[in-house]
């Protein structure tokens, strides 16, 4: 593969970053953090500023981390540490997606209860994308193979992804027997299903006053408090209308917690 990230240390610390990196927040950090800055098209020249040395070092640490993702070169950290007072010139290099290699993905039934997804080679972004789609149906994981539970939802997912010609910037070709999966042809969207599911997660989090799933301990405490507050056993002597309202709230709390609990387990 071509080198998609380069660092050269001479008069400046010259850096080339591939545009496929998710660098939007990093560029925003540079724009907001440095006063001694020149911007020309996709090139950023950041002058060393002794009064802003903390942010200068933070920027260099981030560049080192990005570089190490594609290079086995531990010496770069030492070289930059010795030259951290140099100006930094960052160039964003635009790349077009190349479809020279085609990834073949075979999907076939093993039995009435499971099917297999086999990859001709391991390409991490594609593998993770498909693994994420079938997350709640996976039975076994291998580097080039996924064993999936055979059910109506997983069949719909197979139908949807088999229509794709590219995934995560890679050309893909699906080999699948439509008769084995009895494609329904009904309107269905993978992305739509994921968005709907994530919307349910967000709504469930709001029930417990949490912003994200990493606050699950907070969710647990709030669930116990709310479940006790609205549990039907504590309101048997109240008017029937009040009992119905409290029971409805209790069911929503219970269902929201169970949805989040399942989501956390899947993430783990």
E-strand spans in the chain?
5-9, 13-18, 37-40, 43-46, 88-93, 102-109, 114-119, 138-141, 145-149, 166-167, 170-176
Q: Higher pLDDT residue, 188 or 123?
A: 123
13 φ, ψ (degrees, to nearest 5): -95, 100
Q: Higher pLDDT residue, 227 or 18?
A: 227
Give the DSSP H/E element, type plus range, for residue 216: helix 216-230
Q: Tell me: pLDDT of 117 over 90.
A: yes
**Block residue for tokens 């056993």:** 233
Query: pLDDT tens for residues 19-32?
Result: 777 777 888 888 88
- At residue 1 the predicted structure's pLDDT band, cuts being 50, 70 and 90, is very low
Residue-range domain boundaries for the chain: 5-93, 102-188, 191-267
E-strand spans in 61-216?
88-93, 102-109, 114-119, 138-141, 145-149, 166-167, 170-176
- CATH fold of 191-267: Helix Hairpins (1.10.287)
Alpha-carbon span 92 to 18, nearest angstrom? 6
Q: Tell me: pLDDT of 218 over 50.
A: yes
Structure tokens at 176: 């699948």
Q: Cβ distance 165 to 172 under 8 Å?
A: yes
Q: Higher pLDDT residue, 71 or 254?
A: 254
Alpha-carbon span 203 to 195, nearest angstrom? 12
206 φ, ψ (degrees, to nearest 5): -65, -30
Q: What is the pLDDT of residue 85?
A: 92
Alpha-carbon span 180 to 249, nearest angstrom? 44
Strand partners, 145: 118
Query: pLDDT tens for residues 192-210?
Result: 566 677 778 888 888 898 8
Burial of residue 128 (number of CB atoms within 10 Å: 0-12, 13-18, 19+): exposed
């Amino acid at each position: 593969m071509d080198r998609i990230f380069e660092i050269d240390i001479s008069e400046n610390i010259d850096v080339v970053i591939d545009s496929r990196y998710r660098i939007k927040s990093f560029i925003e950090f540079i724009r907001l953090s440095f006063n001694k800055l020149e911007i020309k098209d996709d090139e950023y020249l950041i002058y060393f500023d002794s009064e802003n040395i903390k942010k200068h070092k933070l920027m260099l640490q981030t560049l080192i981390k990005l570089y190490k993702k594609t290079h086995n070169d531990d010496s770069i950290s030492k070289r930059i540490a010795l030259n951290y007072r140099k100006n930094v010139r960052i160039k964003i290099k635009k790349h077009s997606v190349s479809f020279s290699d085609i990834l073949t993905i075979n999907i076939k039934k093993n039995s009435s209860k499971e099917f297999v997804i086999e990859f001709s080679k391991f390409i991490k972004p594609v593998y993770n994308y498909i693994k994420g789609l079938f997350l709640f149906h996976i039975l076994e994981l291998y580097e080039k193979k996924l064993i999936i539970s055979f059910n109506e939802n997983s069949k719909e997912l197979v139908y949807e992804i088999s229509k794709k010609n590219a995934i995560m910037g890679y050309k893909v070709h699906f080999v699948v027997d439509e008769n084995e999966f009895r494609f329904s042809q009904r309107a269905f969207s993978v992305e739509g299903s994921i968005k709907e599911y994530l919307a349910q997660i967000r709504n469930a989090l709001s029930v417990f006053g949490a912003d994200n799933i990493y606050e699950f301990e907070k969710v647990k405490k709030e669930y116990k408090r709310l479940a006790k507050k609205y549990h039907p056993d504590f309101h048997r002597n109240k008017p029937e209308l009040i009992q119905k309202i409290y029971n409805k709230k209790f069911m929503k709390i219970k269902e929201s917690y169970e949805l989040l609990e399942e989501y956390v387990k899947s993430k783990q």
